[in-house]
Amino acid sequence: MLKQLYPACDVSRQLEGTYLALNLHQQAKQGEIFIYANYIVSLDGRIALFDAAMGEYAVPPSIANRRDWRLYQELAGQADVMLTSARYFRQLAEDKAQDLLPVGGGDKYADIKAWRKMQGLKSQPDVMVLSNSLDIPLAALEKVKDRQVIVLTSSQDVSKIENLENTGVVVKQTDEVTGQFVRQCLIDLTYRSAYMIAGPQVHATLIQDKAVNELFLTTHFTLLGGTKVSGLVDVDLDNAQSLKLKASYLDTQENQLFQRFSYV
Protein backbone atom coordinates (compact mmCIF):
# COMPACT_ATOMS: atom_id res chain seq x y z
CA MET A 1 0.00 0.00 0.00
CA LEU A 2 0.96 3.64 -0.51
CA LYS A 3 0.09 6.48 1.84
CA GLN A 4 -0.88 9.63 -0.04
CA LEU A 5 0.64 12.72 1.58
CA TYR A 6 -0.46 15.34 -0.94
CA PRO A 7 -2.86 16.75 -2.03
CA ALA A 8 -5.06 14.67 0.28
CA CYS A 9 -3.27 13.58 3.44
CA ASP A 10 -3.12 10.12 4.97
CA VAL A 11 -5.12 8.36 2.24
CA SER A 12 -4.04 4.79 1.45
CA ARG A 13 -4.13 3.16 -1.96
CA GLN A 14 -2.70 0.22 -3.88
CA LEU A 15 0.60 0.72 -5.71
CA GLU A 16 -0.74 -0.88 -8.88
CA GLY A 17 -2.73 1.59 -10.91
CA THR A 18 -1.52 4.70 -9.09
CA TYR A 19 0.06 6.21 -12.20
CA LEU A 20 -2.01 4.35 -14.78
CA ALA A 21 -5.10 6.19 -13.53
CA LEU A 22 -3.63 9.54 -14.61
CA ASN A 23 -4.48 9.05 -18.31
CA LEU A 24 -1.41 10.98 -19.42
CA HIS A 25 -2.13 10.11 -23.04
CA GLN A 26 -5.20 12.37 -22.83
CA GLN A 27 -3.57 15.44 -21.25
CA ALA A 28 -2.47 17.21 -24.44
CA LYS A 29 -4.84 19.57 -26.23
CA GLN A 30 -5.50 18.91 -29.91
CA GLY A 31 -2.34 19.66 -31.88
CA GLU A 32 -0.17 19.63 -28.75
CA ILE A 33 2.11 17.12 -27.00
CA PHE A 34 2.38 16.16 -23.31
CA ILE A 35 5.98 15.27 -22.37
CA TYR A 36 6.84 13.72 -19.01
CA ALA A 37 10.10 12.53 -17.47
CA ASN A 38 10.88 9.97 -14.78
CA TYR A 39 13.86 9.26 -12.51
CA ILE A 40 14.72 7.40 -9.35
CA VAL A 41 17.12 9.33 -7.13
CA SER A 42 18.92 8.69 -3.84
CA LEU A 43 18.41 10.91 -0.81
CA ASP A 44 21.68 12.66 -1.67
CA GLY A 45 20.60 13.39 -5.22
CA ARG A 46 22.26 10.66 -7.28
CA ILE A 47 20.44 9.04 -10.19
CA ALA A 48 23.52 7.02 -11.14
CA LEU A 49 27.03 6.11 -9.98
CA PHE A 50 29.98 5.24 -12.18
CA ASP A 51 30.25 1.47 -12.48
CA ALA A 52 33.88 0.55 -13.12
CA ALA A 53 32.98 -2.94 -14.35
CA MET A 54 30.53 -1.55 -16.91
CA GLY A 55 32.70 1.44 -17.71
CA GLU A 56 29.75 3.84 -17.47
CA TYR A 57 27.13 5.32 -15.17
CA ALA A 58 24.30 3.08 -13.97
CA VAL A 59 21.45 3.05 -11.45
CA PRO A 60 22.84 1.36 -8.29
CA PRO A 61 21.11 -1.87 -7.20
CA SER A 62 20.78 -0.36 -3.72
CA ILE A 63 18.04 2.00 -4.94
CA ALA A 64 16.62 0.14 -7.97
CA ASN A 65 13.54 -1.83 -6.96
CA ARG A 66 10.54 -3.66 -8.40
CA ARG A 67 7.95 -1.27 -6.93
CA ASP A 68 9.50 1.74 -8.63
CA TRP A 69 9.83 -0.36 -11.79
CA ARG A 70 6.12 -1.13 -11.69
CA LEU A 71 5.29 2.58 -11.80
CA TYR A 72 7.95 3.08 -14.50
CA GLN A 73 6.01 0.56 -16.56
CA GLU A 74 2.71 2.34 -15.85
CA LEU A 75 4.19 5.58 -17.17
CA ALA A 76 5.40 3.77 -20.28
CA GLY A 77 1.96 2.30 -20.71
CA GLN A 78 0.49 5.77 -21.28
CA ALA A 79 3.05 6.88 -23.87
CA ASP A 80 2.63 7.13 -27.62
CA VAL A 81 6.42 7.41 -27.90
CA MET A 82 9.45 7.12 -25.61
CA LEU A 83 12.31 9.62 -25.75
CA THR A 84 15.79 8.22 -25.23
CA SER A 85 19.40 8.62 -26.34
CA ALA A 86 21.86 6.67 -28.46
CA ARG A 87 23.55 5.59 -25.23
CA TYR A 88 20.62 3.32 -24.47
CA PHE A 89 21.04 1.46 -27.76
CA ARG A 90 24.78 1.11 -27.22
CA GLN A 91 23.99 -0.44 -23.83
CA LEU A 92 21.38 -2.66 -25.45
CA ALA A 93 23.91 -3.90 -28.01
CA GLU A 94 26.31 -4.83 -25.20
CA ASP A 95 23.58 -6.37 -22.98
CA LYS A 96 24.12 -3.62 -20.41
CA ALA A 97 20.69 -1.99 -20.68
CA GLN A 98 18.43 -2.21 -17.63
CA ASP A 99 15.70 -3.72 -19.76
CA LEU A 100 14.22 -3.68 -23.24
CA LEU A 101 12.07 -0.63 -23.78
CA PRO A 102 8.69 -1.30 -22.14
CA VAL A 103 5.84 -2.14 -21.96
CA GLY A 104 7.25 -5.26 -20.28
CA GLY A 105 6.12 -8.79 -20.94
CA GLY A 106 4.76 -11.48 -18.67
CA ASP A 107 1.85 -11.63 -16.27
CA LYS A 108 3.19 -8.78 -14.09
CA TYR A 109 2.42 -6.20 -16.76
CA ALA A 110 -0.43 -7.92 -18.60
CA ASP A 111 -2.89 -5.43 -17.11
CA ILE A 112 -0.91 -2.52 -18.60
CA LYS A 113 -0.93 -4.10 -22.04
CA ALA A 114 -4.65 -4.76 -21.74
CA TRP A 115 -5.17 -1.14 -20.67
CA ARG A 116 -3.27 0.12 -23.75
CA LYS A 117 -5.43 -2.00 -26.01
CA MET A 118 -8.59 -0.74 -24.34
CA GLN A 119 -7.41 2.85 -24.82
CA GLY A 120 -6.77 2.28 -28.53
CA LEU A 121 -2.99 2.59 -28.18
CA LYS A 122 -0.48 0.46 -30.06
CA SER A 123 0.92 -2.55 -28.22
CA GLN A 124 4.23 -0.73 -27.73
CA PRO A 125 5.20 2.96 -27.73
CA ASP A 126 7.31 4.17 -30.64
CA VAL A 127 10.88 5.33 -29.94
CA MET A 128 12.45 8.74 -30.56
CA VAL A 129 16.24 8.94 -30.18
CA LEU A 130 18.17 12.19 -29.65
CA SER A 131 21.68 11.71 -31.02
CA ASN A 132 24.21 14.11 -32.47
CA SER A 133 26.80 11.38 -32.99
CA LEU A 134 24.48 8.83 -34.67
CA ASP A 135 26.56 6.20 -32.90
CA ILE A 136 23.61 3.80 -32.82
CA PRO A 137 24.35 0.07 -33.29
CA LEU A 138 22.10 -1.23 -36.04
CA ALA A 139 21.93 -4.64 -34.34
CA ALA A 140 20.32 -3.05 -31.29
CA LEU A 141 17.62 -1.49 -33.48
CA GLU A 142 16.58 -4.99 -34.50
CA LYS A 143 15.26 -5.48 -30.97
CA VAL A 144 12.67 -2.71 -31.46
CA LYS A 145 11.75 -3.40 -35.08
CA ASP A 146 8.14 -3.94 -34.00
CA ARG A 147 7.72 -0.16 -33.57
CA GLN A 148 8.59 3.06 -35.39
CA VAL A 149 11.99 4.53 -34.53
CA ILE A 150 12.71 8.22 -35.17
CA VAL A 151 16.16 9.77 -34.76
CA LEU A 152 16.70 13.50 -34.24
CA THR A 153 20.21 14.70 -35.04
CA SER A 154 22.43 17.61 -36.01
CA SER A 155 24.84 15.25 -37.76
CA GLN A 156 25.53 15.65 -41.48
CA ASP A 157 27.09 12.18 -41.79
CA VAL A 158 25.35 10.95 -44.95
CA SER A 159 26.62 7.38 -44.59
CA LYS A 160 25.28 6.96 -41.04
CA ILE A 161 21.97 8.53 -41.98
CA GLU A 162 21.54 6.24 -44.98
CA ASN A 163 22.39 3.18 -42.89
CA LEU A 164 19.70 4.13 -40.39
CA GLU A 165 17.11 4.92 -43.04
CA ASN A 166 17.79 1.60 -44.75
CA THR A 167 16.60 -0.14 -41.58
CA GLY A 168 13.32 1.80 -41.61
CA VAL A 169 14.39 4.51 -39.15
CA VAL A 170 13.05 8.02 -39.80
CA VAL A 171 15.87 10.58 -39.47
CA LYS A 172 15.13 14.27 -38.91
CA GLN A 173 18.03 16.72 -39.18
CA THR A 174 18.49 20.18 -37.74
CA ASP A 175 21.34 22.57 -36.93
CA GLU A 176 20.84 21.94 -33.21
CA VAL A 177 18.60 19.46 -31.42
CA THR A 178 16.77 21.77 -29.03
CA GLY A 179 13.82 21.14 -26.78
CA GLN A 180 11.55 23.08 -29.12
CA PHE A 181 12.76 21.03 -32.10
CA VAL A 182 11.96 17.83 -30.21
CA ARG A 183 8.54 19.13 -29.24
CA GLN A 184 7.67 20.27 -32.76
CA CYS A 185 8.78 16.96 -34.28
CA LEU A 186 6.51 15.11 -31.86
CA ILE A 187 3.59 17.34 -32.78
CA ASP A 188 4.27 17.00 -36.51
CA LEU A 189 4.18 13.22 -36.11
CA THR A 190 0.80 13.59 -34.33
CA TYR A 191 1.94 12.05 -31.05
CA ARG A 192 0.01 13.13 -27.95
CA SER A 193 2.11 11.72 -25.08
CA ALA A 194 5.89 11.27 -24.84
CA TYR A 195 7.80 9.61 -21.99
CA MET A 196 11.39 10.83 -21.53
CA ILE A 197 13.66 8.13 -20.05
CA ALA A 198 17.05 9.52 -21.12
CA GLY A 199 19.80 10.92 -18.91
CA PRO A 200 20.46 14.41 -17.52
CA GLN A 201 21.69 15.95 -20.78
CA VAL A 202 18.47 15.21 -22.64
CA HIS A 203 16.55 16.35 -19.57
CA ALA A 204 18.45 19.65 -19.65
CA THR A 205 17.82 20.05 -23.39
CA LEU A 206 14.09 19.90 -22.78
CA ILE A 207 14.20 22.08 -19.66
CA GLN A 208 16.11 24.88 -21.41
CA ASP A 209 13.24 25.36 -23.85
CA LYS A 210 10.46 24.63 -21.34
CA ALA A 211 9.57 21.66 -23.51
CA VAL A 212 8.75 19.14 -20.78
CA ASN A 213 5.50 19.23 -18.83
CA GLU A 214 5.88 16.96 -15.81
CA LEU A 215 8.46 15.06 -13.75
CA PHE A 216 7.80 11.83 -11.88
CA LEU A 217 10.45 11.41 -9.22
CA THR A 218 11.07 8.45 -6.93
CA THR A 219 13.26 9.41 -3.96
CA HIS A 220 14.78 6.36 -2.28
CA PHE A 221 15.76 7.04 1.32
CA THR A 222 19.35 5.91 0.82
CA LEU A 223 22.62 7.85 0.93
CA LEU A 224 24.91 6.68 -1.87
CA GLY A 225 27.84 9.09 -1.62
CA GLY A 226 30.54 8.80 -4.26
CA THR A 227 32.51 11.27 -6.36
CA LYS A 228 31.72 9.94 -9.85
CA VAL A 229 27.99 10.55 -9.81
CA SER A 230 25.16 11.74 -12.02
CA GLY A 231 22.22 13.91 -10.97
CA LEU A 232 18.96 15.05 -12.53
CA VAL A 233 20.71 17.84 -14.44
CA ASP A 234 24.48 17.72 -14.92
CA VAL A 235 24.91 20.76 -17.16
CA ASP A 236 24.59 24.51 -16.66
CA LEU A 237 21.08 25.90 -17.01
CA ASP A 238 20.45 29.41 -18.29
CA ASN A 239 17.89 29.86 -15.51
CA ALA A 240 16.88 27.97 -12.39
CA GLN A 241 13.90 25.69 -13.00
CA SER A 242 11.02 25.80 -10.54
CA LEU A 243 8.66 22.87 -10.14
CA LYS A 244 5.28 22.57 -8.47
CA LEU A 245 4.35 19.51 -6.42
CA LYS A 246 1.17 17.85 -7.72
CA ALA A 247 1.14 14.61 -5.72
CA SER A 248 3.21 12.73 -3.16
CA TYR A 249 2.99 9.10 -1.98
CA LEU A 250 4.96 7.42 0.80
CA ASP A 251 5.97 3.80 0.15
CA THR A 252 6.94 2.41 3.56
CA GLN A 253 7.41 -1.09 2.12
CA GLU A 254 10.39 0.03 0.03
CA ASN A 255 11.39 3.13 2.03
CA GLN A 256 10.83 5.63 -0.76
CA LEU A 257 8.67 8.54 -1.87
CA PHE A 258 6.84 8.86 -5.20
CA GLN A 259 6.30 12.46 -6.30
CA ARG A 260 4.70 14.13 -9.30
CA PHE A 261 5.78 17.65 -10.29
CA SER A 262 4.81 20.09 -13.02
CA TYR A 263 7.44 22.40 -14.54
CA VAL A 264 6.53 26.07 -14.08
pLDDT over 80 at 227, yes or no: yes
* CA pair distance 230, 159, nearest whole angstrom: 33
Give the tens place of pLDDT for each residue, 102-144: 788 788 899 999 999 999 999 999 999 999 999 998 888 888 8
* CA pair distance 34, 23, nearest whole angstrom: 11
Give the tens place of pLDDT for each residue, 54-104: 788 889 999 999 999 999 999 999 999 999 998 888 887 776 666 666 788
* CA pair distance 41, 75, nearest whole angstrom: 17
pLDDT of residue 106: 80
Dihedral in degrees, nearest 10, Cα atoms 54, 60, 62, 66: -100
Q: Indicate the pTM of the whole model.
A: 0.94
The CATH architecture one would assign to domain 2-263 is: 3-Layer(aba) Sandwich (3.40)
Q: Domain segments of the chain: what residues?
A: 2-263
Give the tens place of pLDDT for each residue, 143-187: 888 899 999 999 999 999 999 999 999 999 999 999 999 999 999
